[in-house]
Amino acid sequence: MKFENELISGKLIKRYKRFLTDVELDDGSLVTAHTANTGSMKTAIAPGWSVMLSKSDNPKRKLAYTLELTHNGENWIGVNTSVPNKLAYNAVEEGLIEELRGHDELKREVKIGKSRIDLMARYGEKKCYIEVKNVSMKVQGENVASFPDSVSTRALKHLHELQGIVQSGGRACMIYIIQREDVDSFTPAYDIDPEYSHEVLKAKRAGVELFALQYSPGPSGIFFKRQLPIILREDL
């Protein structure tokens, strides 16, 4: 996925009120950027880090700039949580996940019951419902990506919904989009959200399919790298 417009570089001053970041651009000017990320952003942001912003010309937006990437001194990290759904859609559309190839139709934001599922792939008369999660956190001292970076009742709800689909005879998947290159596997964040993490194992046992896709983010775009192994407590 290429960025529509050239990104703007700067240095992070601070993140505050969850959705705001102050950035000093390379020309010395100070701007406030929208941060499309509800999590803690642990291991993915810190004052003084290099960052990349996109800029919108939409006059209706309160903030023209959006935080897209951060750099920890070694790697770029994708932190915009609106991006993973696009990446997952492209991954399924392009057949990057073997188990999801051969679909006849692929749709975004499909309503099922009282909820909306991120993606729906149809294979003949059979439908597969797919939820997508952004992963920007790395386990300290290990080359392991992890999710969530804070307790997430919403993510837990989505796991329950996927299990309900399978129990009703349908097919359901969870795709974790990992937007950093300094990891070689994925695991749920047992120390941060044990309830969600143990539910991932329950979902797998119930028949929910799990995939972890690693991407290489950079100023020109975010590109697929490989599929990573998923480590659950039963595997340790």
Q: What is the pTM of this model?
A: 0.95
Report residues of the chain scoring pLDDT below 70.
235-236
Distance, in Å, from the CA atom of 174 to the CA atom of 55, rounded to the nearest integer, reads: 31
The pLDDT assigned to 113 comes to: 76
Q: Name the strand (E) or helix (H) holding 159.
A: helix 153-167
d(CA 162, CA 207): 9
What is the H or E stretch that residue 84 is in?
A: helix 84-93
Q: Domains plus CATH for the chain?
A: 8-78 (2.40.50.580), 84-235 (3.40.1350.60)
- Which amino acid type is present at position 1? M
The verdict on whether omega for the bond into residue 148 sits within 30 degrees of 0, i.e. cis, is yes
- Residue 163's closest CA among 115, 121, 206? 206
pLDDT at 236: 44
- Amino acid identity of residue 124, one-letter, is G
- Output the CA angle 33-147-228, nearest 5 degrees: 110
pLDDT number for residue 4: 87
The three-state (H, E, C) secondary structure of 32-53, written as one string:
EEECCCCCCCCCCCCCCCEEEE
SS3 215: strand
Q: Closest Cα partner for 83 from 231, 192, 215, 230?
A: 215
